[in-house]
Amino acid sequence: MKKLYLKSLLLLILTLGVLLFLDSKVIHSALFSQYYREYTAGNEPSDFVYLGNSISQRSFNHHKIDSLLGTKSYCLGSPGQHFYVTYAIFNELIKDKNIHPKQLLLVSISPNQFVEVRTDKQKFSQMKVIDELPFSLEKIKLIHTYYDIDEYPEAWSSSIRFHDILHEKIYESPYRLKAAKDVDRRGFSKIVTTALKETQKAKQNDLNSIAATYSDRLDATVIDTIDLASQTYIKDMIRKAEIHDINLVFYTAPSISYIREKKLLGQMKMMELFIKENSGKYINLNRLFNELHLTVDDFSDYTHLNIQGNSKIVPVFTDSILPMFHLEKN
């Protein structure tokens, strides 16, 4: 019986060894893997680093900002990224002083980043980021949070996940990864020029009049709490950023959905007050919607700005966000 146990243990160790080797070659997302690995390798030290979901990839026109300020920006965000995963990336970022942002760390924050991960698409969106995290208690916790036991093998192992197309997923080296066409090598979405369809625009004729009442509605709304874990993570990010001398700002990007949907106001107010109470920096750009002269033409969908829209946000970056930390335009 002891021999059987020993053989089983050796087989398990051998299997895990093979999986670890294959997983190092099998890339879930060539896109995210490329820009994440390049940045964390210390090859892309940047002045401004963005974290979060797809909002972080499209809210600010980093080309204009970097051209104006003579700086470099980098984004470690990804579509559908849940806030717990953003927190995990933050923790990896602060471990190495060589990859700390030189000037500012910007973290997108919004109610949809706190929603429970349930659908296959939502779960898959977390996997591509979790793949890049080193083995740790935090990684175990993330997988336990998002996945059922029968999903653990594919959540843990990219080679198991892609077993049926393994030959297509093994690359000769991480340096030969091919990025997707819609994101640049610094992790930002490439220039998005698309706008809403005319039928969609027609439904937004009162957008600016609704936006004019946004701040009053937000201030008057009843607080709707966000989950306790997210509160803990926000507080911890503020604390760690201060310890490591990192300028951290949370922001909520302009959104047609956030301007309109009453059910989101309670959590928006909670975020704003909670960050302030914990001595953090936060800016809700929806409060400045009309001041920025945003219109329905500035959005590619109800949540994301297009190139015309994110170009209008540049003055907020230079005139409102930088002064929070006594940073100045060159």
Tell me, yes or no, whether 330 lies in a domain: no
Beta bridge partners of 107: 51, 250
Domain count, the chain: 1
In degrees, to the nearest 5, what angle opens at C-alpha 216 toward C-alphas 210 and 220?
125
* Tokens of residue 30, six digits: 């060539």
Integer CA distances (angstroms), 1 to 4, 9, 289, in order: 5, 12, 71
**Cβ pair 271, 109 in contact under 8 A:** yes
Beta bridge partners of 250: 107, 282
Integer CA distances (angstroms), 144 to 55, 162, 226, 292, in order: 26, 21, 20, 42
**One pLDDT digit (tens) per residue for the chain, 330 residues:** 666 656 665 665 666 556 566 665 555 555 787 888 889 998 878 999 999 999 999 899 999 999 999 999 999 999 899 999 999 999 999 999 999 999 999 999 999 999 999 888 888 889 888 988 988 899 989 999 998 888 888 777 776 776 444 444 444 333 333 434 466 777 787 778 888 899 999 899 999 999 999 999 999 999 999 999 999 999 999 999 999 999 999 999 999 999 999 999 999 999 999 999 999 999 999 999 999 999 999 999 999 999 999 999 999 999 999 999 988 765
Q: For residue 130, give its domain range.
A: 2-324
Q: How are strands ordered across the β-sheet holding 281-284? A: 73-75, 48-51, 104-108, 248-252, 281-284
Tell me, yes or no, whether 217 lies in a domain: yes
Question: 312 in helix, strand or coil?
Answer: coil
In degrees, to the nearest 5, what angle opens at C-alpha 145 toward C-alphas 140 and 149?
80
pTM of this prediction?
Answer: 0.87
Tell me, yes or no, whether 329 lies in a domain: no
